[in-house]
């Protein structure tokens, strides 16, 4: 898991994100801040995902995240989409970190670009 977190920090520090994070600062992020990081990554894939977690109801943001990553064929550790959504709503850091790691893989961005082109 530590290697995954290092990878997340590394990718979030690169353009277009340029977050200036460290492992410590990522660990200190609040749940809404972590959800905003997910939204920021997703909005790079699709501008329709530009949301501000501070101004949206949490369940609306979580639903948008869940719906979008399902379209990307993300397979969370739990099989049930509702369980995944519940874990995001409950601020499960492991689930959030795993999703960020998956989204920030170079192939995730490339796969989405191919998907949109079809």
**Mean pLDDT by groups of 10 residues along the chain of 118 residues:** 92 95 97 96 91 92 94 88 94 95 78 54
The DSSP annotation for the chain comes to -HHHHHHHHHHHTSTTT-----HHHHHT--HHHHHHHHHHHHHHH-GGG---TTTS-HHHHHHHHHHHHHHTT---SSS-HHHHHHHHHTT-HHHHHHHHHHHTSHHHHHHHHHHHH-
**Percent with pLDDT over 90 in the chain:** 75
CATH topology of domain 2-117: Actin-binding Protein, T-fimbrin; domain 1 (1.10.418)
The per-residue pLDDT for 7 is: 94
Domain-wise residue ranges, the chain: 2-117
């Amino acid at each position: 898991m530590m290697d995954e977190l290092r990878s997340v920090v590394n990718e979030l520090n690169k353009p277009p994100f340029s977050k200036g994070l460290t492992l410590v600062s990522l660990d200190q992020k609040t749940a809404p801040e972590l959800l905003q990081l997910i939204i920021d990554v997703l909005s790079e894939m699709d501008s329709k995902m530009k949301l501000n977690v501070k101004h949206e109801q949490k369940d609306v943001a979580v639903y948008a995240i869940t719906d979008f990553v399902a379209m990307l064929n993300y397979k969370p550790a739990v099989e049930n989409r509702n369980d995944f959504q519940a874990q995001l709503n409950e601020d499960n850091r492991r689930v959030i970190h795993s999703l960020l790691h998956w989204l920030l893989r170079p192939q995730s961005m490339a796969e989405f670009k191919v998907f949109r082109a079809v």
